[in-house]
Structure 1
Amino acid sequence: MPPRLLRYSELDLAAWDACVAEAREVVPYACSWWLQATTGRWEASVEVEAGTGRYLSVLPLPTKWRLRGREVYQPAFTQQLGLLTLPESQFSDVLLHLRQLPKRYAHFYTQLNDQTPLPSALLPLTGQTRTTYHLPLHPEYAALHAGYTADYRRRLRQNNELPLPLTVSPASSVDEMLVLFKQYTGEVAGLKNRHYQQLRALFAALQHHNQALPLEVRAPETGELLAAALFVRFRTRLIYLFAAASPAGKKVAAPLLLLDYVIQRHAGTPSLVLDFEGGMIKSIARFFANFGATPVPYAALSFTQRPWYLQWIR
C-alpha cells in the first residue's frame, strides 16, 4: 500500500513506536513520546501494511502555523528525523514518501538521519550537508583511550593524581544543569523558556523509558556544580544530548571527564556508537575529534512554496 499523509489524530502511536523500535535506521528522536515532548503534534507520511495495520515506514513531519502558512520544521533537541523503514517496506526511498505530500506546506525544512541515502533527485533541495561525530564503542577502553589526543590523556592523568580528584556521578534531575546552561550559555544558544520546558518534559519521558543517563561533576570541597550532561541510550546509539559547564568547570576539564566516563562505562559494547550530536561549530568539532571521533554527514532538506518540486523531477 503506498504511503499516506496522516494527521496526528489519525496516527496509531503503538504501531508508530513499534516501527521506530524495529527500523533499520536507529533514530530515537522519532519515538512518539520524544516528538510529543518536543513538538506536541506532528503529521507523517506512513506506509501501512494491508491486513495487519503495521507501519512499515514512517516519515515524521513536525508542523506549525506561521503567517505564511503551515510549515514543516525541525524541533529542538531533535538532531535527525527522516525516513525509518522496516525490511518489509516497499517504499524505503524518501523520495517516494515526499511524492505523496500535497502542496500544503508554505515552507519545508527537515534534517534526515545519517543512515538514509539521499536520492540524487533531491540534491537541489538540500539546504546543506550537516555533520555529527561518531565514536564506535565496540573496542575495549584501553584502545579507545589510546585514541584520545595526548593532551586529553595528560589532563585525565593529572586529575587522577590530585589528592581530591574530580569524579563523575549520576544526577537526580536536570534542573541544576539547566540553570547552569542558562547562566553561561543560554543567551548565546538562543534558547527560550519554552525550550527548557521541552527538555524537562523530554527528560521525564526518557526516565520513564529507562533511556536517560544524567551525569554531573561537582567540586569536591564545595559541592559546586562544575559540569553536567544528559546522555540517551537507545538501541545501538548513545547520544550526547545536552551539556552545560561553568568557566571553572571548563578550566578543570570537567566536560572531558563526563565524556571519558561514558566511554569507559560503555567500552566493549558490540555495535554501540557514541553520537556526539554536533560538529557544525569548528571548536566543538575539534573537541569531539580529540576523543578519536570521526565526522558523519547527514542532509537537511529545505524548500519554500514555489511550483512543487515534483513538477521538474523526472
Structure 2
Amino acid sequence: MPPFRLLRFSQLDLPAWDACVAGARQPVPYAHSWWLQATAGRWDALVQTEPETGRYLSVWPLPAKWRPGGRQVYQPPFTQQLGLISGGEDAPNIGSELLRLTQRYARFYTQLNEANGVPALPGQFAFEARQTYQLDLSPAYENLRAGYCADYRRRLLRHETAVAPLAVTELPDTEPLLALFQQTKGPAAGLHPRHYARLRRLLAELHRRQLLEARAVRQPETGALLAGALFVSYRSRLIYLFAAASDEGKKAAAPLLLLDEAIRRHAGTPGLILDFEGSMLPAIARFFANFGAVPVPYAALSFTSQRPWYLQWMP
C-alpha cells in the first residue's frame, strides 16, 4: 500500500480529494472540500495517493489553526464526523500514523466516522466514545410509525384529527430559522457571529448542490415560524443538520411534526438512513430514540503535546 503523506492545504489536489470522498465506502459529506471550506476554511490532511495516476486512495482531513502554544487540530462546527475516508474495500490501518501526528501538533481533537472503529492508540492519545442515532428508512411509513413511542403516536393522531392541524411546508429562506435559533438555543449553544457566517456559507453550498431540504411549521393565523429543520440528503444518508423551535412551537409538538414528515417523505427508500446527528445529551438522545432510532457509536480522539511549539515540525 502507498504510504500516507501529511500535506498542508496548499498541497492538496481538491478535485482528486472530492473524487475520493464521493467514491468512498463511508458516506461522509462533511469531508468534501466544499463542506470543509465553508466550516473550516483550510485544513491539513493525511493523504494516500496512487503513484501511477495521482488518484487519492484515502484521505483524513485535519482542520488546523495556529493558537498560542502551536498548531492545533480541531473539529469544525456543523461537522459531526471526519476521520479516515477510503475508497478501497479494505481501509488502511491509520493507527501507525497517529504517533507522527503527536510530533506535528500541539493539541489535537477529531471525531472519526462510524466506520473507522477505534485504532490502536499511542499512549499520548485519549479516546472518547460518542454516539449518534440512526433510523433505517427502508420500511414503509406505517411500519416506521409503529416503532415510535406510544406518546408520539398519540400526539400525531391527535394532531391529524384536529379541526385545523398544523402543516409542514417548505422553507425557501433559511434566515428566519437562523434568527429563531439565535433567539432560543443560540446563547446556550455558545455560537458566535462567526459560526453563523460559516453555517450560511455551508447552506449556500448545500443549496447550490441541491442537497438541502428545509422545512417549517408556521402559526396558521400569523404566519410566525414555530419550528424549522434542515436536512442534508447525501447518498445513503438523510442528515438532521439543524433545527430550532419557539416555546409555542414546542407546546404544539412542531419538532415532532417536522421529523415525522421527513420520515414519511423518505420512508420506503432502500438503504436510506436518517442520521439524527447525536446526541450525547440524554434528553435529546431520548427524543431521537422515541422515533425508533438506535444508537450508533463513533470515536473522538485527542491529545495535548508536551513538546515546545517551536519543535513541533521537527522530524
Does the CA-based 8 Å contact 1:3-1:45 persist in structure 2?
yes
Q: Give the residue type in structure 2 aligned to 1:28.
A: P
Alignment of 1:14-93 (within 5 A): 14-87=15-88, 92-93=92-93
- CA displacement 1:129-175 (0-9 Å, x = unmatched): 01110101111101000000111011111111122111111111210
Deviates more, 1:95-104 or 1:9-18: 95-104
Alpha-carbon displacement from aligned partner over 1:25-74 (angstroms, at most 9, x marks no partner): 11110010000000000010000001111100000000011111100000
Q: Does structure 1 conserve the Cα–Cα contact (< 8 Å) formed by 2:48 and 2:57?
A: yes
Q: Which amino acid aligns with 2:249?
A: G
Letter of the 2:263 counterpart:
I
Q: 1:243 to 1:4 in 2, by over 3 A?
A: same
More divergent stretch after superposition (124-133 vs 70-79): 124-133
Between the aligned partners of 1:274 and 1:22, the Cα distance in structure 2 is 20
Q: Which amino acid aligns with 1:93?
A: N
Asked whether 1:302 is paired with 2:305, we answer no
| Matched residue, 2:311 | none
Aligned to 1:265: 265
| Residue identity in the other structure for 2:49 | V
Pairwise CA distance, 1:101:
3.7
Q: How much has 1:264 moved relative to structure 2? A: 0.6
* AA in 2 matched with 1:214: A
| Contact 2:171–2:215, Cα closer than 8 Å, also in 1 | yes
Is 2:60–2:83's contact at 8 Å kept on the other side of the alignment?
Answer: yes
Write the mapping of 1:262-301 to structure 2, written as runs, cut at 5 A: 262-301=262-301
**CA RMSD, 1 decimal:** 1.6
Q: CA deviation at 1:117?
A: 1.7
Aligned equivalent of 1:11: 12
Contact 1:133-1:294 within 8 A present in 2 as well: yes
For residues 247 and 64 of structure 2, the distance between their equivalents in structure 1, rounded to whole angstroms, comes to 37
Displacement of 1:128: 1.2
Alignment-derived partner of residue 312 in structure 1: none
Moved more, 99-108 or 68-77: 99-108
Match of 1:108, as an amino acid? F
Q: State the shift of 1:104 in Å.
A: 1.8
SS at match of 2:198: helix
TM-score (structure 1 length as normaliser): 0.94
Other structure's SS at 1:116 match = coil
Matched-pair contact (CA < 8 Å) for 2:137–2:270: yes
Identity of aligned residues (%): 59
Give the aligned partner of residue 175 of structure 1.
Answer: 175
Do 2:135 and 2:293's aligned partners in 1 also have CA atoms closer than 8 Å?
Answer: yes
Distance between the aligned counterparts of 1:275 and 1:97, measured in 2?
29
**What amino acid is the match of 1:78?**
T
Q: CA deviation at 1:307?
A: 6.7
Superposed CA deviations along residues 81-121 of structure 1, whole A, max 9, x for unmatched, are 000011167x6222144355471210010000111121233
- More moved, 161-170 vs 124-133: 124-133
Query: Distance in 2 between the 1:74 and 1:41 partners?
Result: 12
**1:226 paired residue number:** 226
Contact kept in structure 2, 1:5 and 1:100, CA below 8 Å:
no
Aligned residue type for 2:200 = R
Distance 2:97 2:266 in 1: 36
Classify the secondary structure of the residue corresponding to 1:121: coil
Alignment of 1:74-223 (within 5 A): 74-87=75-88, 92-101=92-101, 103-121=103-121, 125-223=125-223
- Which residue matches 1:311? none
SS at match of 2:63: strand
